[in-house]
Structure 1
Amino acid sequence: MHRWPALLGIAASLAIAAPVSAQDSSNADVLAVVDTFFEGLNTADAVLMNSVVAEGSLVTFVVESDDRPDLRVRTMEQATEGLVDGGNYYEEYWEPTVLVKGPIAVVWAPYLFDVDGKRSHCGIDVFNLLRLEGEWKITAIQYSVDEGCPAGR
């Protein structure tokens, strides 16, 4: 008879401790947008990359150094132009953390970046997305650049 209050307390504490994320298909929908962006990057297709990007989006990256971090900001247009004009690029991410609340989503994941088949760098990618007119769009990308990448990936 006295078990109900205890069970309700346990259930409430589990609900509070759970990470905030979508319980529907939002996580998969958000990752599909990120995957489309990477497909465009890996095939040098700026049109495909920009198809999942909101107008006015920015790309910010930071290169860690002993002196101070080197922070650079570009428009998405500048970033995608540089990617399709530069060389043979390949980027891959794994173990993404996806957070979704209403029309806002964030994807955080480690990544690697190869140029002409050789490892250039790795780091952390962060994609910010908004659901605009019923579709997820990337509004910002931030990433770190680490040249000391672990072996095996």
Structure 2
Amino acid sequence: MKKITLICIVCLGYNINAQNAEVEAVKATIVEFFEAFHKKDTTMLKTMAKGNIKMQSISVNAEGKTVLQESDYNQFVKMLASIPEDAKFEEKLLDFNIQIDGHMANAWTQYEFWFNGNFSHCGVNSFQLIKEDEKWKVFYMVDTRRREGCKK
């Protein structure tokens, strides 16, 4: 009986360590994505994507209506490259909630967005990732954007 219990504990420990390693790999991918974003490294951003990522943003307009905006990832990358060098922006990730099932992961990250040192908005990013050739890649992104209820 003691051998069976020990084997179960070892197997459980192995599975937990493997899951933790994958969670850290997904987190590292998201961190790397934002490092490339802040540097306007369009080449790196393209390599981190699985195709032309579907991008969406959810916000509330001046009339109080919920708005869903859709963007093209390739256009987003082109727009990023056109931002003037003196413009400084930072998306500060506040925490991570990562879930994984096999070769699919979801990363939920609360954030604050700052432009030229001024607070702009906050919200949540939700990234869908696929593990391909031992590397995690983003295939879908949606975020929320608001000015109220932020932690700043």
TM range (shorter): 0.7 to 0.9
Q: What does residue 76 of structure 1 align with?
A: 73
Q: Which residue of 2 aligns with 1:57?
A: 53
CA deviations 1:6-65 (Å, max 9, x no partner) are xxxxxxxxxxxxxxxx62410011111111110011112111222211112111001124
Partner of 1:104: 104
Q: Distance in 1 between matches of 2:117 and 2:149?
A: 15
> How well do the aligned residues superpose, as a CA RMSD in angstroms?
2.2
Unaligned runs of 5+ in 2: 1-17
Which residue is equivalent to 1:15?
none
Q: Write the distance in 2 (CA, Å) between the matches of 1:94 and 1:148.
A: 16
Q: Deviations over 1:70-108 (max 9, x none)?
A: 111112111222223233221111221000010000001
The 5 Å alignment of 1:12-91 reads: 23-65=19-61, 66-86=63-83, 87-91=87-91
Other structure's SS at 1:96 match: strand
Asked if structure 2 preserves the Cα contact closer than 8 Å seen for 1:53 and 1:137, the reply is yes
User: Retained in 1: the 8 A contact 2:56–2:141?
Assistant: yes
Consecutive unaligned residues of structure 1, counting only runs of 5 or more, are: 1-21
Q: TM-score of the superposition, structure 1-length normalised?
A: 0.78
- Residue identity over aligned pairs, in percent, reads 20
Structure 1 residue aligned with 2:141: 141
2:82 is matched by which residue type in structure 1?
A: D
Task: State the TM-score, normalized to the length of structure 2.
Answer: 0.79
Task: Indicate the SS of the match to 1:47.
Answer: helix
Query: Retained in 2: the 8 A contact 1:107–1:126?
Result: yes
